[in-house]
Amino acid sequence: MTLAATHLYDLTISEALAGLRAGDFSALELTDALLDRISALDGELSAFLTVTADRARASAAAADQRRAAGEDAPLLGVPLAIKDVLVTEGIETTAGSKILKGFVPPYTATAVGRLQAAGAAILGKTNTDEFAMGSSTENSGYGPSRNPWDRERVPGGSSGGSAAAVAAGEALGALGTDTGGSVRQPASFCGVVGLKPSYGRVSRYGLIAYGSSLDQVGSLTKDVRDAALILNVIAGHDALDSTSLDAPVPDYTRALTPDLKGLRVGMPAEYFGEGIQPEVERAVRAAVDQLRRLGAEIVPISLPNSDKALPVYYLVATAEASANLARFDGIRFGYSAGAESMFENFRQTRGVGFGPEVKRRIMLGTYALSAGYYDAYYLKAQQVRTLLKQAWEAAFRTVDVIVGPTTPTTAFRFGEKTDNPLEMYLADIFTVSLNLVGMCGVSIPCGFDDLGLPIGLQICGPSLGEEAILRTAYAYEQSTEWHRQKPNV
């Protein structure tokens, strides 16, 4: 590992904005540096499914013209990447699935549109597990992305392409989505910052749905300030999304202070125990000690029923997936097998177009919703989900944030878990609860294991508690050097 260099692609978003505003370089020069980086590295990393070089350069040139005319905007001239489950007008959007190969949407997701309105240049669409169903990007219909810290290991998932791109300097930041940890887990594996906002804080309009009551658009960035900058832009009510919260959007950068005096930090007993890689536990406990030194009060807490979160998640998420993916029928858009009868066309289209993990989850969800099993599985899962929410709400009546490991292990090797879906699902054991209860969380780098692989600290907050988790994350980050470490690529 090496300390950050002075290349343009190594800049954070805030550093890039300062340089652009000072005239140290142009948006076009910055964008070209990122595109050159993609050309040099992505043949091996496969972080991107589509690179939109001409569009990015045109956006950058327009940003330079606007700045020359005296204009400014929150992200004017900043090159970013978009996970390929967010639709983009005029740009192929596949959700990592062969069933959507060649699909070019006629509209743009709200979160992406807000980035563009803020002046960002979109570099392209990043790789993802098919329909965001996975923890490693090994389920992508177009091949996996690779972890920049060790090309023989996964970058996490399902936002693995976005995490790998940011870690390798192929984008200054990226959007991802988080249904059960799909922003936070790859952020941990790739040594970047992954922010999952509260459910409804960011519009889901234009997000290709996996689990509609769980999905949330988030960001992957090089540091916490950049996460706050992106959230400032994408957060807020959207009339096009009925689940969008109509709540004021603060300036999240104002929450970034260097000390934590008066902050109560909950440390759940359930998140430290059997199954955690020893180096992960040591790093997270050391991070908690650092929070104490910064002025936080560490409060031991309990989160009852935490052991039920994973099975509840995989019942709720697969049930919602079985309904959401019914729209992919080979008739209106995407791949079609072209069979003579309608039902045979359905069968062949889905048989060829969907990958094994997507088929597995559709079958699980359909079974859980079927007559005779609904009450025993889906209804029971929703009841336990309510108990989980009550436990988290009770905890936040005594503490401001809750901390623990983002993942039980560091990045694993390709193929290590593909033959055992349950073992793969356990990679999300510490992240799924936040999606079930609709609250917010961020993963930040807090160390490395004995092989030099990044370790993530997860900081959780209540609904609309983004200011508290960003404050905690920023204070820790600025008092350590972990976020300044870069993979040797």
What pLDDT does residue 331 have?
85
Among 195, 216, 264, CA closest to 406: 195
CA distance 176 to 432: 16
| H-type alpha helices, 250-295 | 278-293
- Do residues 79 and 58 touch, judged by C-beta distance below 8 A? no
Q: DSSP 3-state assignment of 438? A: coil
pLDDT digits (tens, 9 = 90+) for 40-65: 999 999 999 999 999 999 999 999 99
Return mean pLDDT, the chain: 96
Would you call 183 exposed, middle or buried from its count of C-beta atoms within 10 A (0-12, 13-18, 19+)?
buried
Within a domain: residue 316?
no
Residues 6+ apart with CB under 8 A from 338: 330, 345
Q: What percent of the chain has pLDDT above 70?
A: 99
Pairing of strands 79-83, 173-177: parallel
**pLDDT of 3 over the 80 cut:** no
Q: What percent of the chain has pLDDT above 90?
A: 92
Within a domain: residue 416?
yes
What pLDDT does residue 47 have?
98
User: What is the DSSP-derived secondary structure letter of residue 270?
Assistant: G
Within a domain: residue 381?
no
Domain of residue 67, residue span: 10-270+276-303+390-486
- Tell me the β-bridge partners of 265: 298, 401
Active site residue 136: no
Within a domain: residue 324?
no
pLDDT digits (tens, 9 = 90+) for 425-446: 999 999 999 999 999 999 999 9
Active site residue 101: no
Active site residue 83: yes
Pick the more confident residue, 331 or 154. Answer: 154
The model's confidence at residue 329, banded by pLDDT at 50, 70 and 90, is confident
> Taking the CA of residue 479 as centre, how many other CA atoms within 13 Å lie in the half-sphere pointing to its CB?
21
DSSP 67-80: HHTT---TTTT-EE
pLDDT digits (tens, 9 = 90+) for 238-272: 999 999 999 999 999 999 999 999 999 999 999 98
CA distance 337 to 344: 9
Tokens 């560091």 -> residue = 410
- Do residues 242 and 485 touch, judged by C-beta distance below 8 A? no
pLDDT digits (tens, 9 = 90+) for 371-420: 999 999 999 999 999 999 999 999 999 999 999 999 999 999 999 998 88
Catalytic one of 14, 136, 158, 433? 158
The model's confidence at residue 333, banded by pLDDT at 50, 70 and 90, is confident
pLDDT digits (tens, 9 = 90+) for 152-176: 999 999 999 999 999 999 999 999 9
- For residue 186, give the CATH number of its domain: 3.90.1300.10
**Measured CA distances, 314 to 213, 300, 309 (Å):** 13, 28, 9
Residue 286, Cα to own-chain centre: how many angstroms?
Answer: 25
> What are the two backbone dihedrals, phi and then psi, of residue 179, each rounded to the nearest 5 degrees?
-105, -30
What pLDDT does residue 48 have?
99
pTM: 0.97
Q: Name the domain count of the chain.
A: 1
Would you call 311 exposed, middle or buried from its count of C-beta atoms within 10 A (0-12, 13-18, 19+)?
middle
pLDDT digits (tens, 9 = 90+) for 174-211: 999 999 999 999 999 999 999 999 999 999 999 999 99
Least-confidence region, from 270-279, 330-339, 372-381 = 330-339
CA distance 227 to 339: 47
**pLDDT of 5 over the 60 cut:** no
Within a domain: residue 320?
no
Within a domain: residue 58?
yes
Residue 468, Cα to own-chain centre: how many angstroms?
Answer: 19
**Measured CA distances, 174 to 70, 211, 276, 444 (Å):** 27, 21, 29, 15
Q: Write out the two tokens for 312.
A: 């509840």
**Measured CA distances, 129 to 98, 147, 279, 368 (Å):** 12, 14, 27, 23
**pLDDT of 2 over the 80 cut:** no
The model's confidence at residue 4, banded by pLDDT at 50, 70 and 90, is very low
Catalytic one of 14, 26, 59, 83? 83
Within a domain: residue 24?
yes
Within a domain: residue 295?
yes
- Do residues 20 and 14 touch, judged by C-beta distance below 8 A? no
Catalytic one of 46, 162, 182, 463? 182
What pLDDT does residue 86 have?
98
What pLDDT does residue 330 have?
86
